Structure 1
Amino acid sequence: RWAMPRMRTRSLVARAATSDVTSRIQESFSAIRLIKAYGAEDRAQARFEEDSIISFNASFRVRHLIAFVTIIMFTISATFLLGGEFLIALWAFEGRETFASEFIALVGVSFVVWNFAAYDWTKTQFVDSTKAVRSLMGQWLSAQDIAMGLQRVFDILDIEPDIQDDADAIELHGLRQEIRFDQVAFAYQADRPVLADVSFTAKPGMVTAIVGPTGSGKSTLMGLLLRLYDPTAGSISIDGLDLKRYQVESLRRNVAVALQENVLFALSVRDNIRYVAPDASDQQVREAVRVACMDDYVDALPDGLDTLLGDRGGKLSTGQRQRLSIARAVVRDTLVLILDEPTAALDAATEHRVMTNLAEWGRDRAIFLITHRISTIQRADHILYLDEGHIKESGDHESLMALPDGRYRAFVETESNLYRNAEHLTR
């Protein structure tokens, strides 16, 4: 009654803690782009270490209880047996009456137990002596396997980022004039260029939409702005200084990103929003909620902003997760905002509200949109049509639609037809 309930409770806690560690690892790898973009590596590592310590302590408590119960059981059985022998021997020594059958039974049991124990010990020693070499070899092989596994872990931990600060790198304190891409080229592999001769500028208060077919290099272009990688040719500058002149940490601190994957963590809604800005006040969180049009569903959640989300935000719909990602980018309060397919899962009315709020909020910010949604693209001040790594056309929506055989115009017509067909099928 004392041990079993405690064993069940401690085992359950240990399993849950181990599951948390596994989930944390999976969560971190799934959110690696977000963590890198926001420079949140230290926070992710701290959360993992905290979960690991909790798991270790929970497992230790289970092992401690097992050892304690084993010692207690052995002590009780040995005490009972030795105590019985001592008592009957004492009675016989003092000349008291004893039941012969009881005495014989106890002595017989003791004889059998102790002799069996002696035999078993002798047998065990003999067998162990023949197995010693095999056991040693097996442990040595296991140790080598563990060592190789640990070496792989340490190799990963020792990898230095490809992007490093220059010795004279300075802090970026904001965007005052413009972001300029000047004949930028990039390739993951030397013989397979992803971007070539990309040139454009973006200024505070301007919304720049980057559109084009899948695989045209849109996300890579924004990855270069975050310095997840460096261009293989050309340059990217902010206020006239090359990105390489700025400290990587300060650059990423000035850029907010809402990724297409809508990465969420097993935290409360509030903590998910503040993940990229731990010091954000409740007022700032509420403002981000307003801009992202989250009010309607947040107020309906059981605990509002303090509602705990499941793994990857399992309690929310795709559209709700998307708005939460936008709110997380907004609460960062940076002068550069990158939105990757920000309204793909939103209905037309909600999309209109979100984009209107973002336009108002971003009056003095440079906003980049990567999207296929025509209604979102139309709101942009400047549109870049990217195909096969080249900017084929650029301008606003009206000027690009005026081109008779324009690629952007063909793209808009195709997307509009697909949207109408999809809408017809859902009726």
Structure 2
Amino acid sequence: VHFRRADGVLNVRVRVGCHLVYYYALYWLSTLTEIITLLFTVDLLNQSILQAEPLTPFLADFVGRPDLGSDAIGALTAAQRQELQWIYIVFVAAIGTITFPLTFGLPYYNVWILQRINQDLRLALVERWHQLSLRYHGDHRVGDSVYRIYQDSAQVTAVVGMLISVVIQITRYAVTIAFVAALDPWLGLLGATIAVLAILWGRWFSPRMRTRSLTARETNSDLTSRTQEVLGAMRVIKASGTEGFEQRRFEADSVVAFNAAFRIRSLLAMVTIVMFTIAATLLLAGLFMMAVWAAENREAFAAVLIGLVGLSFVRWNLGAFQYAQGELFKASDLVGGVLRQWTTAQDMAMGLGRVFEILDIEPDVVNAPDAVPLRGLDAQIRFDRVSFAYEADRPVLGDVSFTANAGEITAIVGPTGSGKSTLMALLTRLFDPDRGSVTIDGVDLRRLDVDSLRRNVSIALQENVLFALSVRDNLRYAAPEATDEALHRATYVSCVDDYVASLPEGLDTMLGDRGGKLSTGQRQRLSIARAIAKDAPILILDEPTAALDAATEHRVMERLRDWGRGGEGGGRRAVFLITHRISTIRQAHRILYLEDGRIPEQGDHDALMAVPNGRYRHFVETEIALAERIEAT
């Protein structure tokens, strides 16, 4: 099921609509059967079988005994009553056989429809989040996204369920009002007045309810974000001794959420009290009128019609009074039920509005209509006069040009904030450049299928994210089909093979949450191994050796150079390093020195160091001097 909203209209694939049609058809079949049963069996049992009164002509024809009608005889004999008793039993048994599976099957079918819709909407929401750029995710809190997935999206179940229920209740209300209007039109008018006043009252409180509901959802979303942030930073909190501070911040957010929820409940209480007062006043007036009519034994308005359907209330009496009283109270309850559901619907609408707010966002990066898959890397990757800005007035990259060859390591260095990570984000097409082009073997990335491009790129991030899974499952995260041979090859290149071999269960050893059982260096090397296990032709490593000692770093870089040239199996790969570590930079075939979003210098280490007053040379000398001062202290 796919949900789309265009021009404010929600479009749902027909399959859901068909299921709802099936449900409504079965429900009304069940309801119609119950009505028919009620109309015929009540009169058959009460008037004929128990009181020996002849059948109405219509009912006599229905049971196939016109000779037992009131137009043929005056009273029923004992034998005739016994015969009708068996007809009654057979009729009820037949109706029960029909309605039994519907009575117990419809609720399950209803639940299946609602949960299926909820599941499909939730999947559509997560799919759209995967499509949105890092720019969006960087501007929004994770807790807010979690709340929209689990809380806001669940409102679609309530909405569809409410639509089913409201249609049923409105229909029952109309039928009820029709019956009491047959007794007297003033009763029908009274019941309709309750509904009209409920509509006017609903128009007044609806915008207020929507405002309060949106506020409540936003405050609960903030509370979820706070919880997620606290749990994710528990190590830092404990190390800093700030548990009390975080507790107070959580309490403050919780109080805001509580107050927002309380304001909704206060409005709900007011809605209920006002509607109860209106309905009670009108019902008391109706009861007074009906009591007067019953005392006068007044003839019912549609006495002929009432007689035709088999009811005996052709004149106002105690029975007619009790019947009309019950129907009016039922009509009032139905109006109150619809009003309560309408009140709840305002909160549902705000929840779904937050969901469709995400679904309506168009991704920054989409496939071109004629997109082609990327088959691999044969020669080179080229940036040609590329410019990019996250915000129009704050450029990040300007007129960047360089070539990275397959089989070589390209190091990207420069001051913090110079645009190194943005450069690699353009290579993986997380963003499209504002000007210029990025090509692989002469094909612009914008002409490549996005999924195939990213399947050909492997990344090891600086954060070294690992999962509470086995070593094998962590290495296979980006390459589920990787063989054990490929995994061992990846651990060899990243110099973590000896450590894995020393583990009690080898590749099957379970890691703690986020790799908490490992040292920082071990997590870093496993992250590199995971990227290598994907065996993609383009490898991006962000500060790959920051946590490694000098000897391990040298071995990792030597093996990476060999792997990039096509060693350890596979073809040539283009390796990109984002790093500040001079010993790592030296190993690169080509160095791009990035400063203020531009590349003023590029070449190998020796060539760049030979440039008098060169920026790269100044960068290296500054880093070395700083390291020496730190070591001296």
Is TM-score (shorter-chain normalized) higher than 0.5? Answer: yes
Letter in structure 2 aligned against 1:413: E
Instruction: Choose from 297, 306, 309 the match for 2:508.
Output: 306
Give the 3 Å change call, closer, same or farther, for CA 231–133 of structure 1 in structure 2. farther
Shift of 1:302: 3.8
Matched, 1:192 2:400: no
Name the stretch that deviates more: 135-144 or 375-384: 135-144
Q: Could you tell me which residue of structure 2 aligns to residue 178 of structure 1?
A: 380
Shift of 1:162: 1.6
Which residue of structure 2 lines up, in the alignment, with residue 165 of structure 1? 367
**What is the identity, as a one-letter code, of the residue corresponding to 2:578?**
I
Deviation string, structure 1 residues 150-207 (Cα, Å, up to 9, x no partner) = 4323432454422111111111111112111110000001111000010010111111
Counterpart AA for 1:209 = A
Q: Identify the residue that residue 413 of structure 1 maps to in structure 2.
A: 621
Aligned pairs for 1:21-420 (under 5 A) are 144-157=346-359, 159-363=361-565, 364-420=572-628
SS of residue paired to 2:372: coil
Return the alpha-carbon distance in structure 1 between the equivalents of residues 275 and 476 of structure 2.
Answer: 57
- Larger RCO (CA under 8 A, 6+ residues apart): 1
Q: Which segment is superposed worse, 299-308 or 404-413? A: 299-308
1:244-274 deviation digits (Å, cap 9, x = unpaired): 1111111111111111111222221111111
What is the aligned-residue RMSD (CA, Å)?
3.0
* Distance change >3 Å, CA 239–CA 132, structure 1 → 2: same
How far off its partner does 1:142 sit?
5.6
Q: Distance in 1 between matches of 2:403 and 2:276?
A: 72
- Write the distance in 2 (CA, Å) between the matches of 1:309 and 1:154: 38
Q: Which amino acid aligns with 1:253?
A: R
After TM superposition, the score normalised by the length of structure 1 is 0.66
- Give distance in 2, aligned partners of 1:421 and 1:280: 46
Question: Are residues 308 and 133 of structure 1, via their aligned partners in 2, closer, same or farther at CA, if it must alter by over 3 Å?
Answer: farther
1:299/1:405 CA distance change after superposition, 3 Å: same
Aligned to 2:631: 423
SS of 1:275's equivalent?
coil
Name the counterpart of 1:92.
none
Which secondary structure state, in structure 1, belongs to the residue aligned with residue 626 of structure 2? helix
Change (3 A) 1:422 1:317: farther
Task: Report the Cα distance in structure 2 between the residues aligned to 1:302 and 1:160, rounded to whole angstroms.
Answer: 49
User: In 2 relative to 1, CA 130–337 (structure 1 residues): closer, same or farther, beyond 3 Å?
Assistant: closer
Separation in 2, partners of 1:414, 1:142: 64
**In 1, Cα distance between the equivalents of 2:388 and 2:479?**
31
Distance 1:138 1:347, change over 3 A: farther
Alpha-carbon distance between aligned partners in 2 of 1:356 and 1:133, rounded to the nearest angstrom: 81
Residues 387 and 436 in structure 2, CA contact (< 8 A), matched pair in contact too: yes
Aligned to 1:61: none
- The answer (yes or no) to whether the contact 2:382–2:439 under 8 Å persists in 1 is yes
What secondary structure, in the 3-state scheme, does the structure 1 residue paired with 2:541 have? strand
| Counterpart Cα distance in 1 of 2:583 and 2:130 | 30
Unmatched 5+ stretches in structure 2: 1-125, 135-145, 151-271, 278-335, 566-571
CA contact (8 A) 2:413 2:580 kept: yes
Which amino acid letter does the alignment assign opposite residue 245 of structure 1? R
Taking a change above 3 Å as real, the CA distance of residues 144 and 267 of structure 1, as seen in their structure-2 partners, is farther
Q: Which moved more, 1:414-423 or 1:332-341?
A: 414-423
Question: What is the SS of the residue equivalent to 2:346?
Answer: helix
- Alpha-carbon offset, residue 132 of structure 1: 8.6
CA distance in 1, matches of 2:341, 2:528: 53
SS at match of 1:196: strand
Q: Decide whether the 8 Å contact of 2:491 with 2:497 is kept in 1.
A: yes
1:133 positional shift: 5.4
Alpha-carbon distance between aligned partners in 2 of 1:132 and 1:186, rounded to the nearest angstrom = 59
Q: Deviations over 1:276-333 (max 9, x none)?
A: 0111111111111111111232233343222222222211121111111111110111
Distance 1:221 1:141 in 2: 51
TM-score by length of 2: 0.45
In 1, Cα distance between the equivalents of 2:469 and 2:342? 43
The 8 Å contact of residues 408 and 561 in structure 2, kept in 1 or not, is answered as no
How far, CA to CA, are the matches of 1:268 and 1:150 in structure 2? 38
Q: 1 CA distance for matches of 2:391 and 2:612?
A: 36
Change in CA separation of 1:422 and 1:274 when aligned onto 2, cut-off 3 Å? farther
Q: How far 1:138 sits from its partner (Å)?
A: 8.1
Distance 1:143 1:349, change over 3 A: farther
Return the letter of the residue paired with 2:465. Answer: V
Q: 1:133 to 1:198 in 2, by over 3 A?
A: farther
CA distance in 1, matches of 2:445, 2:531: 21
What is the alpha-carbon distance in structure 1 between the residues aligned to residue 410 and residue 610 of structure 2? 19
Change (3 A) 1:240 1:414: same
| Separation in 2, partners of 1:131, 1:318 | 64
Q: Secondary structure at the match of 1:299?
A: helix
Q: CA deviation at 1:384?
A: 0.7
Larger radius of gyration: 2
Matched AA of 2:529? A
